């Protein structure tokens, strides 16, 4: 059974940077399109972006609010997905989930990012 485990969250000052990781196991990671989704405290789900499989070009797409500050990447040799967040803002405070979305519907447990001075 597929599993995703996020890490890298924490308390960061505004303007700082953070790299989140998502370790995959139990499924063929290199074939999967991978997504990041976040949820601010007490708020709904927000799709951040995705990265296609290398076989589909490995390209990325982002939601408009995060374009330019967020970068999704993958290392298929390590079955790991990454999310680089630069110039963090207080409104980036959220639980960050990685997921396969789609019919495979595998989600991590989430990692919490808190942006505060």
Partner 1 sequence: DIQMTQSPSFVSASVGDTVTITCRASQDINNYLAWFQQKPGKAPKLLLYGASGLQGGVPSRFRGGGLGTEFTLIIDSLQPEDFATYYCQQINSFLPNTFGGGTKVEIK
Using CA atoms, how far residue 33 sits from 1, 14, 73, 78, in Å, is 17, 30, 11, 15
Does residue 42 bind partner 1 (CB under 8 A)? no
> Least Å distance between CB 5 and partner 1?
12
Backbone phi, then psi, for 91, in 5-degree steps?
A: -75, -5
- Going by C-alpha positions, the residue among 17, 15, 27, 42 that lies closest to residue 98 is 27
Which range of residues in 14-22, 60-68, 70-78, 80-88 is near partner 1 by CB under 8 A? 60-68
> Least Å distance between CB 72 and partner 1?
13
Task: Mark residues 93-112: x for contact with partner 1 by CB under 8 A, - for none.
Answer: ----x-x-xxx-x-xxxx--
* Backbone CA torsion sign across 109, 49, 76, 104: positive
Q: Which residues bind partner 1 (CB under 8 A)?
A: 33, 35, 37, 44-47, 50, 61-64, 97, 99, 101-103, 105, 107-110
């Amino acid at each position: 059974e597929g599993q995703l485990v996020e890490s890298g969250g924490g308390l960061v000052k505004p303007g700082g940077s953070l790299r989140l990781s998502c370790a995959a196991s139990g499924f063929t990671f290199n074939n999967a399109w991978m997504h990041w989704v976040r949820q601010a405290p007490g708020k709904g789900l927000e799709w951040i972006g995705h990265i296609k499989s290398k076989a589909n070009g490995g390209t990325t797409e982002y939601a408009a609010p995060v374009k330019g500050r967020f970068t999704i990447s993958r290392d298929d040799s390590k079955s790991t997905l990454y999310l680089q967040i630069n110039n963090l803002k207080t409104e980036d405070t959220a639980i960050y989930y990685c997921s396969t979305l789609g019919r495979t519907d595998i989600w991590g447990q989430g990692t919490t990012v808190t942006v505060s001075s």
